[in-house]
Amino acid sequence: MNSINTSAYMPTEIEVENISKNKIKVIAYPFESGFGVTLAHPLRRLLFSSTVGFAPIAVRIEGVTHEFDSIRGMLEDVALFIINLKNIRFKIRGDEDKVVLNYSFNGPKEIRGVDLENDSVEIVTPENYFCTINEDAELNFSVIIEKGIGYVPSENIREELDADYIALDGFFTPVKKAVYDIENVLVEDNPNFEKVVFTVETDGLISPLTAFKNSLEAMYSQMSVFNGLLDIEVSNEEESEAVSVEFGKLLQSIDDLNLSARSFNCLDRASVKYIGELALMDEAELKNLKNLGKKSLEEIKQVMEDLDFPVGFEFEDGTKEVLKEKIQDLKSEKNEGEK
């Protein structure tokens, strides 16, 4: 093998090994020395921080004023009741991001996760123990379940709740375990290439393979900010360097905006495929899109504002027409490719 290379070796092998229903190994190789950990470490962090899950963020218990209280006729005190509640994994059945669940139980009864399942939520951990109430007890409580990513401390949730709710730390990630090992692998006569072995385990809210794919999508999405560099034109002069940045992110798909499913589906049905199309619209045009509600409108406006291309952006003379042509060319190329 030539000891001097002009580009990094491209890994070619990928394997997925199913260990159990919610646990897999993902194996990729061969990487140049040092490249394995460079890719594996951020992927591991994204597995925990970017994978969408559901969690109880607040509970209201009849007759209880704080988390250190007790409930008449219940074996557990409120603190243990809350710990057990957090260990039960909920999954919202529909497209909603938040649901409020109301429960009422009469004793004697040992309550488990399965007893909390209803039309609004699926319980992924049906056998998990919750609490026990005696024959004289009546237990009435409400739980707020929300969709999210990562971890949100109760302090950030408390101010949005009614006074009679107890805020809970939100543990949204469905990923229980994400570790990687770097092993040496032989390529021709060089033993210093690397094999990355990921072990991923989830709690059952989603499959570990889906979680791994989500982390990849999150990485690609975050890296897409640099796509604009592809549209940078550099001209070298004797005494100066002129750099002109064209449209960059405006020619990216609306997939990269990470909109809610409701907002994305509305734009998709209206054949809005690229971010630049939103920048070309004014607010009145957006409002006229079929089934675009007020919440979705505000979400889109905020996202575009964050990109520094607010809805109704004022382009320089001639730029607007060029952008329209580029977007039309992209759509034409995509349509040709799908034929």
- Cα four-point dihedral sign 313, 318, 319, 323: positive
What is the residue whose two structure tokens read 């909603």? Answer: 96
User: Residue 19: pLDDT above 80?
Assistant: yes
Q: What single-letter DSSP state applies at residue 274?
A: B
Stated pTM of the model: 0.63
Q: Name which residue leads in pLDDT, 235 or 220.
A: 220
User: Of 268, 265, 282, 279, whose CA–CA distance to 327 is shortest?
Assistant: 279
Max Cα distance, the chain (Å): 90
Q: For the residues 148-162, what does the mean pLDDT come to?
A: 91
Lowest mean pLDDT among 118-122, 219-223, 224-228: 224-228
Residue 243: the pLDDT is 31
The Cα-based distances of 324 to 227, 290, 296, 297, 338 in angstroms read 19, 22, 24, 22, 21
The more confidently predicted of residues 314 and 214 is: 214
Place of tokens 């243990």: 80
CB 55 within 8 A of CB 170: yes
The topology (CATH level 3) of 247-338 is DNA polymerase; domain 1 (1.10.150)
User: Please, what is the Cα angle at 144 between 140 and 149, to 5 degrees?
Assistant: 150
Give residue limits of the domains in the chain.
Answer: 13-51+175-226, 52-171, 247-338
Whole-number Å distance between alpha carbons of 155 and 167? 8
pLDDT greater than 80 at residue 94:
yes
The pLDDT, as a whole number, for residue 337 is 59
* Average pLDDT over all residues of the chain: 88
Residue 176 has pLDDT above 70, yes or no: yes
> What is residue 240's three-state secondary structure?
coil
pLDDT at 241 (0 to 100): 39
Bigger pLDDT: 240 vs 195: 195
Q: Judge whether residue 320 has pLDDT over 90.
A: no
Share of the chain above pLDDT 90, in %: 54
Interval 215-240 mean pLDDT: 70
d(CA 339, CA 335): 6
Closest CA to 26 of 202, 196, 182: 196
CATH class of 52-171: mainly beta
Give the DSSP per-residue string, 68-137.
T---TTBSS-HHHHHHHHHTSPEEESSS-SEEEEEEEEESSEEEEGGGG--SSEEES-TT-EEEEE-TT-
Residue 273: count other Cβ atoms within 10 Å of its Cβ. Answer: 16
Predicted local confidence at residue 190, as pLDDT: 85
Residue 50 pLDDT > 80, yes or no? Answer: yes
Residues 6+ away with beta carbon under 8 Å from 223: none
**pLDDT tens-digit map of 59-81:** 999 999 888 999 999 999 999 99
pLDDT tens digits along 238-263 = 433 333 345 677 888 888 888 888 88
Q: Where residue 233 falls among pLDDT bands split at 50, 70, 90?
A: low
**Rounded Cα distance, 204 and 55, in Å:** 13
Query: Quick one: fold of 13-51+175-226?
Result: Gyrase A; domain 2 (3.30.1360)
